[in-house]
Chain A
Amino acid sequence: MTPAIELRGVTKRFLTPSGGIYTALRDLDMAVEPGEFCAVVGPTGCGKSTTLALISGLEPASEGEVEVFGKPVKGIADGIGYVFQADAVFPWKTVLENVAAGPRYRGASNREAREKARDWISRVGLSGFEDRYPYQLSGGMRKRVALAQSLINGPRILLMDEPFSALDVQTRSLMENELLALWAASSASVVFVTHDLEEAISLSDRVFVMTAGPGTVKSNYKVDLPRPRNVAEIRFQPHFAEIYEEIWKDLKDEVLVSYERQKRSGAA
């Protein structure tokens, strides 16, 4: 079976404003199966977000191959959903218009798009808020809008860049459970970037650990916890602690390297 996402020997360099070259990713290999929920963890600045940008086609790779369902990525492909870390819902559109944007951009009629949007708004539990503007919503509600906005297009791949990092702990675990329910109802593969190892384990089937930048995949771990899961409770299972410990041993070194580097560049 062809993997949903495959990155082979991918390197990504950026030009810095001062004219230097910054290598964000180096020789990265990664494969995600169809329908698999993967989490990517790693220290700050290891290129987690860059990985997502490459898969989505927002950025081209400098070297190596990026393939989605066996086809090389050239520009933004169909069938991809992307939930950004910062708020990326359109502030001048109401909830309904925001969620209806995707189908409209893809050629659906206004009526069709709105009908579909209403359905998705109720699926993420925002019925009654269709006519609100984003500034009138809480952070958690805006994330729901962003989720509905992405999922309405029926993506086969959902990329999520620390989507819940700005939420308070309670809202966060509620959103995580809802995300799992929505994902279970779809057949999408998910790549979920986070710096929180607990979140990574409780959500995913597989955890990729990245090295301190320039990032590459250091190791990957299968998470064989049973589904359906309750994110708020699964961390009390003894097996969860075992997995956590195993991955943390691996991750810890990278975090320390990254931390030392930051300290040094801060002192310089």
Chain B
Amino acid sequence: MNVRSAAARLSVRMHAPTGPAERPLPDLAARRKRYAQRRRLSVAGLRLMLGVTILGLWELTTRLGWVDVFFWSQPTAVAAKLWIWVTQGTDLGPIQDQVLVTMEETVGGFIVGSILGIIFGVALGRSALLSDVLGPYIKGANAIPRVVVGALFAVALGLDIRSKIATAAVLVFFVVFFNAFQGVREVDRNLIANARILGAGDRQLTTEILIPSALSWIAASLHTSFGLALVGAVVGELFGATQGLGELIYAAKNNFDTAGVFAGMALLAAMALVAEALITALENRLIKWRPQAVTEARI
């Protein structure tokens, strides 16, 4: 670059602020949109490539005999299994019924567990006496590997949907409970003082200050707790059921049908992804008043 062109550039830069008439400003919004579009495309492309590579390697290694098809199945066999399930139904009945049953159990357990978790979390967060008395019991109950309660519920509540909802609810309860409890405990003291000065009574303090404040914590835990509800439902089915994806996987396992196991897993994953999208929407509604999400409490 010679001296003159550098000087010319400098003068352009010095004159630029005098107005768009001399040099039109670049259209930043359009540029940003183009950039975002390009990025979305490249992310989608990379995702597709990664998926194809993994499935391709899986197929290839099983075809070449490096990996035993009997134990690890292969993508084409899984796809074939899914196709059979969709067109001819499963051993347990139409495939959509199995998905629906598991979905019902998951959502049921999620709702029951969340509501109980919020009620107990807020109550214990508000009352020091209650939290001192119940604290050790809840911590103790939390320390048990909770999926084993599925066995208890299978016996006590029978093989129908109730035992699965109960198992899922127990798993969800603790996550929501701890987050609600923490949320109530972490309420800004200034906000409480302000509400009381403005004339809020005890009930208004709970519904207008404590619960909304705890909701951002609870919302942050929804992703984890929905995943756990799914775990609870499937584990409940493993302990004994007549319908559902967990039962389908269990039956496939008993027949040494690994393609069936993978096909069930694929359906569970698809279900979880759909639920994830719904929960993100719910989360955005619950905490639309804050710019960024809090990170959830770790148990």
Is A88 touching B289 in the complex (CB atoms < 8 A)? no
- The answer to whether residues A88 and B199 also contact, given A101-B208, A133-B289, A135-B290 and a CB cut-off of 8 A, is no
Contact of B193 among A82, A94, A101, A106 (CB under 8 A): A82
Q: How many A-B residue pairs have CB under 8 A?
A: 66
Mark interface residues in B191-205 (1 if CB within 8 Å of A CB, else 0). 101111111110010
Q: Is B115 part of the contact surface with A, judged by Cβ < 8 Å?
A: no
- B199 to A102, Cβ gap below 8 A? yes
B196, B209, B289, B291: most-surrounded residue (chain A CB, <10 A): B289
Contact of A82 among B194, B209, B290 (CB under 8 A): B194
Q: Name A86-117 residues within 8 Å CB distance of B.
A: 86-94, 101-102, 105-106
Chain A neighbourhood of B127, CB < 8 A: none
- Given contacts A58-B193, A84-B193, A84-B194, whether A105 and B200 have CB atoms under 8 Å apart is yes
List the B residue with the shortest CB-CB distance to A89.
B194
In the docked arrangement, what's the CA distance between A7 and B31, Å?
A: 65
**B residues contacting the other copy or chain, number (CB 8 A):** 23
**Alpha-carbon gap, A246 to B160, bound state (A):** 84
Q: How large is the interface on A (under 10, 10 to 19, 20 to 34, 35 or more residues)?
A: 20 to 34
Check B197–A76 contact: CB distance below 8 A: yes
B188 in contact (CB, < 8 A):
yes
A149 interface contact, C-beta 8 A: yes
> Taking the complex as formed, is B212 at the interface, i.e. its CB lies under 8 A from any CB of chain A?
yes
Chain A residues in 8 Å Cβ range of B200: 101, 105
Q: Is A56 close to B, CB under 8 A?
A: yes
Is B2 an interface position by the 8 A CB rule? no
- Across the interface, which residues of B come within 8 angstroms of A82, CB to CB? 193-194, 197
Residue of B nearest to A77 (CB): B197
Q: Are B289 and A106 neighbours in the complex by a CB distance under 8 Å?
A: no
Q: B193: nearest residue on chain A (CB-CB)?
A: A58
Cβ contacts under 8 Å, B213 to chain A: 92
Out of A88, A92, A105, A150, name the residue touching B204 (CB < 8 Å): A105
Is the pair A88, B193 in contact by a Cβ cutoff of 8 Å? yes
Q: Is B190 located at the chain interface by the 8 A CB criterion?
A: yes
For the complex, give the distance between the alpha carbons of A162 and B209 in Å: 24
- Once the chains bind, are B191 and A56 in contact (CB under 8 Å)? no
Chain B residues, CB < 8 A from A135: 289-291
* Contact A76/B195 with A86-B190, A91-B289 known, Cβ cut-off 8 Å: no
A86 to B189 alpha-carbon distance, docked (Å) = 11
Given contacts A76-B197, A105-B198, A149-B198, contact A88 B191 (CB under 8 A): yes
Contact B290 A91 (CB under 8 A): yes
Which B residues are in CB contact (< 8 Å) with A134? Answer: 289
A101 lies within 8 A of B198 (CB)? yes
Min CB distance A34 to B, Å, is 20
Chain A residues with Cβ under 8 A from B188's Cβ? 86, 88
Quick one: given A86-B190, A135-B290, A135-B291, are A92 and B212 in contact (CB under 8 Å)? Answer: yes
| Shortest CB distance A227–B (Å) | 28
Task: Tell me the bound Cα distance from A56 to B198 in angstroms.
Answer: 11
Q: Is the CB of B209 within 8 A of A90?
A: yes
B208 cross-chain contacts in A, Cβ below 8 A: 90, 101
Please state if B199 and A105 are interface contacts (CB–CB under 8 Å): yes
With both chains docked as a complex, state the minimum distance between the C-beta of A113 and any C-beta of chain B, in angstroms.
11
A103 to chain B, nearest CB (A): 8
- Using Cβ atoms and an 8 Å threshold, which residues of chain B touch A23? none
The 7 A-B residue pairs with the shortest CB-CB distance in the complex, in nearest-first order: A105-B199, A88-B194, A102-B198, A88-B190, A92-B212, A133-B289, A92-B289
Give A residues with C-beta under 8 Å from B.
Answer: 56, 58, 76, 78, 80-82, 84, 86-94, 101-102, 105-106, 133-135, 149-150, 153
Q: Can you list 15 pairs linking A and B with CB atoms under 8 Å apart?
A: A58-B193, A58-B196, A80-B197, A82-B193, A84-B194, A88-B191, A88-B193, A88-B194, A90-B208, A90-B209, A92-B289, A101-B198, A102-B198, A105-B199, A105-B200
